[in-house]
Amino acid sequence: RKQATIGYLEQIPTISDNDITVKDMLMSSFFEIHAIEQRMRALEQDMMHNNVDEAILNKYAKIQDQYIALGGYEVEEKLNKVITGFKLHSILDKPFAILSGGQKTIINLAQLILTEPDILLLDEPTNHLDQEIKKALAKAIKNYSSSAILVCHEPDFYQELVDHIIKIENCNF
C-alpha cells in the first residue's frame, strides 16, 4: 500500500555516535511514543498546578489516545521480549561502536522489529552470525506479523521462512 513503512537492515551496520549504547539504540525505536509521553507528563504537571478546564482534559485525552494507539503502555513488554529473544542482556550497556559485526546486525534487526515497519527489507541478515543467533533471527522473521523480503545466499537459512523465492542471476544493473 502507498503509506507502507519499510525497515531496512543493512549488510554492514554503521553509526557515527561512539557513545550510544545498545539500550539507547533499542529505545530509539520508541522515539515517537516517548515524545507523546513527555507531552502527557507536561500536561499532568500543568493540571496539578493550575485550574483544570474541559479544554485541557480534552487535549490530554487526545494525546493519551495517540499514546495508546502507538502501544505506549506495551513498550517495556516489547523491549523485554526482544532483549530476551536475542539474548541481549549482557550487552545492553555496551557502546554499539565496540560490538562485533554480528552483534551490530542483531541490534539493528531488534531495533527494526521494535519499530514494526510494514515491510522488513533484510540485506544479507545472516552475515557474521553464529548458529544460535541465526536460529533467533529465523524465529523473529517467522513470527513477524508483516512482510519480510530477504536478500540471502543461504538456502539452509531461508528455505523454511519464505513463501516465494525470486532468483536473480547475471544481472547488469
Per-residue pLDDT of the chain (173 residues; tens, 9 = 90+): 788 899 888 776 666 667 889 999 999 999 999 999 999 999 999 888 888 888 889 999 999 999 999 999 999 999 999 999 888 999 999 998 888 888 888 898 899 889 889 998 988 888 877 888 788 888 888 888 888 888 888 888 888 888 888 888 887 76
- Torsion of the alpha carbons at 135, 75, 4 and 88, rounded to the nearest 10: -30
Please check whether residue 66 is in contact with residue 36, taking contact to mean a CB–CB distance below 8 angstroms: yes
Given a contact cutoff of 8 angstroms between Cβ atoms, the answer to whether 146 and 31 are in contact is no
Residue 66 burial (C-beta neighbours within 10 Å; 0-12, 13-18, 19+): middle
Q: CA–CA separation, 57 vs 60, rounded Å?
A: 5
User: Do residues 7 and 120 lie in contact, with contact meaning Cβ atoms separated by under 8 Å?
Assistant: yes
Total count of residues recorded for the chain: 173
